[in-house]
Structure 1
């Protein structure tokens, strides 16, 4: 499908990608959303905490919202979308990945960029609840999971009608390289601290899996993926994890309408994360590359973000 032209124009002060990213991550607030938590078991006997919010009248449609690295279901980029969709007649289920709901998960392994079985469990749970129209919106890491899930060799329930992926590192190795550059140092330090703090909890429960010395050896995000992510989830090393989990290689197999929005000034993304060729070769993949937006920073007036409005337009068939 041809690449879509974007008409996103943020307020002047948010044309800078760094400013838009930081403001959206640290200062945006969403009020007036009531959520109900539900815990479900996964196929491997772990658990997921789901935060539900509902349209005013009974709906047969639901949007599954997936957060990014070290996020959770109360992050504004998740709740903002939930509130907008609820206001437009669609229920929302905001997924907390394993260990992200405020309580550690049961096992040594947790979540990662390519872990799609948990999304499948949530989809099947929504099907069981009777929803006939299911949409998926993934942000950053959650977007990579969304795209990989849709393009894998697995049975996709017919109830899934469309998907939206925002600020997605579809090429994990390239994105990892960008995150290790000086321009992203502050973000990388923040991510690493959160990840290492969680790993320190794991060592108390699973001392046979990792040592204090190994944790102390982690000085970068790639080190974390070498020491923990790859080993805990069955990969050879960080490079193997990036290679197998990148959604780029799965884009050609997607066969439901899918919108990917990646801003050109997103400092987390490498050139490979703008899959123009793949979009042009797949009639179901719509790629939009706004000039502005940073990483999940598509700021507009009235605290409703451009990517949220575009997601709503997309599921209504407005391209």
Structure 2
């Protein structure tokens, strides 16, 4: 078992993140980039397991919801993308966390909307939330975290060392 854990920029609410990636600039750039990397992997899985999913429908997918609906969800035993996004999200489980846990999320992360981030009353006492206003998606060196590019890793490592000693 872990003495302490840390998470940096994790999509705690998959539906909120999926919708954020599917809109505006994110859709034009990141959705396309993600699909360009994920579709070939899905097609390789289809070659391994013929009939696993509808190839034409997957090739027509234009967002992560459609991709997850056709591939990710059924492959992992979920009914559809909405079921997957709901049941695989960590946010609803945070009140039950018993191990010291640090969650670092910038409030301006384009993939993890600030409004979807948990608040103090929504997590167990063992959970520490660090939610700076700036930092983007793991971009804390550009002003969201003080100091050099190593400032965030060093701060997280120090937090883990302090809390592991308590466990």
Q: Under a length normalisation based on structure 1, what TM-score does the superposition of the two structures give?
A: 0.47
Match of 2:91 among 243, 248, 265: 248
Please tell me whether the aligned partners of residues 170 and 246 of structure 1 are also in contact (alpha carbons under 8 angstroms). Answer: yes
- Distance in 2, matches of 1:182 and 1:275, equals 26
Runs of 4+ in 1 over 3 A off after TM superposition: none
- Distance in 1, matches of 2:70 and 2:37, equals 15
Q: RCO (CA 8 Å, sep 6+): is it higher in 1 or 2?
A: 2
What is the Cα deviation at residue 173 of structure 1? 0.8
- Distance in 2, matches of 1:276 and 1:178, equals 23
Q: Which residue of 2 aligns with 1:273?
A: 117
Match of 2:78 among 226, 235, 242: 235
Q: Which residue of 2 aligns with 1:69?
A: none
- Distance in 2, matches of 1:255 and 1:223, equals 35
- Distance in 2, matches of 1:244 and 1:212, equals 26
- Which of the two has greater strand per residue? 1
Q: Which residue of 2 aligns with 1:133?
A: none
Q: 1:188 to 1:245 in 2, by over 3 A?
A: same
Q: How does 1:150-229 map to 2 (within 5 A)?
A: 157=1, 160-185=2-27, 186-229=29-72
What is the Cα deviation at residue 200 of structure 1? 1.6
- Distance in 2, matches of 1:192 and 1:274, equals 28
Q: Which residue of 2 aligns with 1:105?
A: none
Per-residue deviation, residues 113-138 of structure 1 (Å, max 9, x unmatched): xxxxxxxxxxxxxxxxxxxxxxxxxx
Q: Which residue of 1 aligns with 2:155?
A: 310
- Distance in 1, matches of 2:3 and 2:90, equals 19
- Distance in 2, matches of 1:212 and 1:267, equals 30
Superposed CA RMSD: 1.5
What is the Cα deviation at residue 278 of structure 1? 1.7
- Which of the two has greater helix per residue? 2
Q: Under a length normalisation based on structure 2, what TM-score does the superposition of the two structures give?
A: 0.86
- The size of the alignment, in residue pairs, is 156
